[in-house]
Structure 1
Amino acid sequence: MRVPVVIMRGGTSKGVFLNYEHMPENRAIWEDFLLDIMGSPDQRQIDGLGGANSLTSKAAIIKKSTIQGVDIEYTFAQVSLDNQFVDFSGNCGNISSAVGPYAIEQGLVHPIEPVTKIKILNTNTNKLIISEVEVKNGKVQTEGSCSIPGVPGTGSPIYLSFTRSEGAVTGRLFPTGKPLDWIETKNGTIPISIIDVANPLVFVRAQDVGLIGNESPNEYTPEKLMDLEEIRSAAAEMCHFSKKEDATKKSPAVPKMTIIAPPMEYIDSTGTMRKASDMDLTIRMMSMQKPHQALAITGAICTTAAAFLRDTILSDIVIPNHEIVRLAHPAGIMETKVDLLAGHINAIKVVRTARTILEGFVFTKENYQILELAAQAN
């Protein structure tokens, strides 16, 4: 099959964007279809469009919405490198930043100058995202002075507002019903906080897992990654995603393992010295069992919300005293802005950049139209 695709960078991620109309009608075939396109399972993804990294093995399915008050419906897919598996359980904030530009460029949304506001419903979490995209002469602007840690160069700013994102995947702010839990690991009993805002995260203190907190992605040993996955798998069971023994295969993307520590000096991946006074929290995340090179946007949203909650393991580390929360990750410092309404979080806003890299066709190995016909015949 020849399938129209667009490859886009959104924030610090890259993905394949597909129009919903070009997807197989049978949703049961979507997993095989996306694995085929990306070249999975294969660590190199040599026979597909995947970039051999969890940050570049992503897909977005976009649809013009018929729901009142919604412009675009967007489904995110995290395509596994190693397994015959596609995870639809959560969203990716970075990829979300490219949805607005894609919708405008593909004629799914009418552009309004100088800024087009697009209401995006993420179908994975059933949560609304407001995207603000700069437009000039009817076209999406990509050039600008906005820079984000983890991406070379600068671009036009895209503002994303995540509204009322509590319980995005589990339906509960605290999936276990408690802000703090204790779990048994092979290295002893440790406290964790599982919080679901935009995506569910399991937070651990660096000191409780034998880390400092300012490690770079290449400093984690295979043994340490296994220890962290043991904790994440236990949290997956506590969220009722899967049994802990099966979590790596059946729920590899959520909850997301998140390591936190107090502000501290470190040298980021660009060689820049980051001062403790310029941050509110030191944070390191895992992505599909590997260290994240920067910070997931949904992770930043969840962490920002968590900073305003009581009795979690974050409570003694970060005390927000302003509407801006500064999160120090391997590639730099990300700022989020909190919109408070009557003392409660109404929305959390982040800024990203995005651009189209390629538009064309991908050739699949299987003919999914024939497979659909065969399935209907049976």
Structure 2
Amino acid sequence: MTQTAIPYLFMRGGTSRGPYLNRADLPDDLDMLADVLIAMLGSGHPLNIDGIGGGAAVATKVAMLSRSADDWADIDYFFAQVSVEDRLVDFKPTCGNILSGVGPAAIEMGLVGARGGETQVNIRAVNTGARVSATVQTPDGQVTYDGPTQIDGVPGTAAPVALQFMDTVGGATGSFLPTGNLIDTIDGIPVTCMDVAMPMVIARAADFGLSGYESATELDENTDFFAHMEAIRLQAGALMGMGDVSKSVTPKFGLVAPARTGGTIATRYFMPWKTHPTMAVTGAQCLACCVLTPGTVADAPIPNAGPAPITLEHASGQIDVLVDYDLTDTGIAINSAGLVRTARKLAAGHVYIPASVWGGN
């Protein structure tokens, strides 16, 4: 045998896509697992020509599922971000868009049974410790992907997947404000370093000489901006207690600007070495919480109490986040954040990697 076959589902989750795998079908050792995922996705080539990656960071993501031993959760969701060209795998972050497909995939894999017209799947995000409740449409005891819900960045409509995120504060750094400050100034740029669902460094677009309304392509072509942003990100990572982040996709970077199409605020999100074509679900939560926190680079007029609907304008449209929070003497305390996404099963079967990489269990 020259190749190893690994069962998989190939799914779109939100505005990302990738293989959804049973953790039991993969090696336990993380170094070996990284080698398997690199071979599977074809990392090391800009088109991922020798794997099933899509040649973009939003299409080189992997979900690995298992039944959870947690008293609350049904499923453990372990996420991996595989680089397009650098043959690197980052197990530190999680991904909320890919998480949109975890509930449907768990049912499809037989890890969770469908229950009535809607099935609630409680998910533990292994990478960060967050708890997420996903409501999946299951008429007649089967996952349905057809429905009326449209999300910006995905053509057409599909069945809604309602997500409720809990325990998202400080998942990577242990703190809502990892530096202890509402604003830090790094290389002359005021930034807010915040850790809610995703550790982020957030700045005003205008402080970089940008409008904040540039397209993803325009931003990707601005090499001077990317160089400045990366220099700030590296310093911020150290200030946030994350150490050397030069080979990690976290912390992510975000830009904010005044809203111009009826939303709460305009945003751009970076992955971090390319501009996200839409918006990460985790990043949306962090940005929304930054908006709600007085004194940050993104603060805006807010209601006196939660839950508060926040609409983020992004490069392909908008995303809505409903943040439940309490006001405190020092700012806000986040209880949960709710979003609605969609998912669709694209393929199922086996994905093959060279047996020389891994011979299987």
Q: TM over 0.5: same fold?
A: yes
Task: Please show how residues 346-361 of structure 1 align to structure 2 within 5 Å.
Answer: 346-361=335-350
Q: 1:368 to 1:64 in 2, by over 3 A?
A: farther
State the identity as a percent: 35
- State the one-letter code of the partner of 1:106: M
Q: 1:260 to 1:22 in 2, by over 3 A?
A: same
**Which residue of structure 2 lines up, in the alignment, with residue 269 of structure 1?**
none
Q: Residues 253 and 272 of structure 2 are in contact (CA less than 8 Å); yes or no, is this contact kept in structure 1? A: no
- State the one-letter code of the partner of 1:328: E
User: CA–CA distance in 2 between the matches of 1:342 and 1:218?
Assistant: 39
**1:65 is the counterpart of 2:80:** no
Q: 1:371 to 1:130 in 2, by over 3 A?
A: closer
**Which residue of structure 1 lines up, in the alignment, with residue 153 of structure 2?**
150
**Which residue of structure 1 lines up, in the alignment, with residue 225 of structure 2?**
224
Select the residue among 279, 284, 305 that pairs with 1:300: 284
Task: Please show how residues 244-255 of structure 1 align to structure 2 within 5 Å.
Answer: 247-248=245-246, 250-251=247-248, 253-255=249-251
TM-score (norm 2): 0.93
Select the residue among 131, 135, 157 that pairs with 1:132: 135
**1:365 is the counterpart of 2:354:** yes
How many residue pairs are counted as aligned between the two chains?
Answer: 349
Deviation at 1:362, TM superposition (A): 1.1
Q: Residues 167 and 335 of structure 2 are in contact (CA less than 8 Å); yes or no, is this contact kept in structure 1? A: yes
Alpha-carbon RMSD: 1.6
User: CA–CA distance in 2 between the matches of 1:345 and 1:237?
Assistant: 25
Q: Residues 169 and 200 of structure 1 are in contact (CA less than 8 Å); yes or no, is this contact kept in structure 2? A: yes
**Which residue of structure 2 lines up, in the alignment, with residue 207 of structure 1?**
206
1:59-112, CA deviations, whole angstroms, 9 ceiling, x for partnerless residues?
011001122111000011000112221011111110000000000111111111
User: CA–CA distance in 2 between the matches of 1:31 and 1:96?
Assistant: 20
- State the one-letter code of the partner of 1:255: P
Task: Please show how residues 274-293 of structure 1 align to structure 2 within 5 Å.
Answer: 275=261, 278-293=262-277
1:305-337, CA deviations, whole angstroms, 9 ceiling, x for partnerless residues?
22222221112xx22337211100011111111
Deviation at 1:369, TM superposition (A): 5.0
**Which residue of structure 2 lines up, in the alignment, with residue 320 of structure 1?**
302
Provide the secondary structure at the position in 2 that maps to 1:353: strand
Task: Please show how residues 107-118 of structure 1 align to structure 2 within 5 Å.
Answer: 107-118=110-121
Gaps of 5+ in 1: 265-274, 373-378
- State the one-letter code of the partner of 2:242: F
- State the one-letter code of the partner of 1:258: G
**Which residue of structure 2 lines up, in the alignment, with residue 339 of structure 1?**
324
1:203-224, CA deviations, whole angstroms, 9 ceiling, x for partnerless residues?
0101111100111011122222
Gaps of 5+ in 2: none
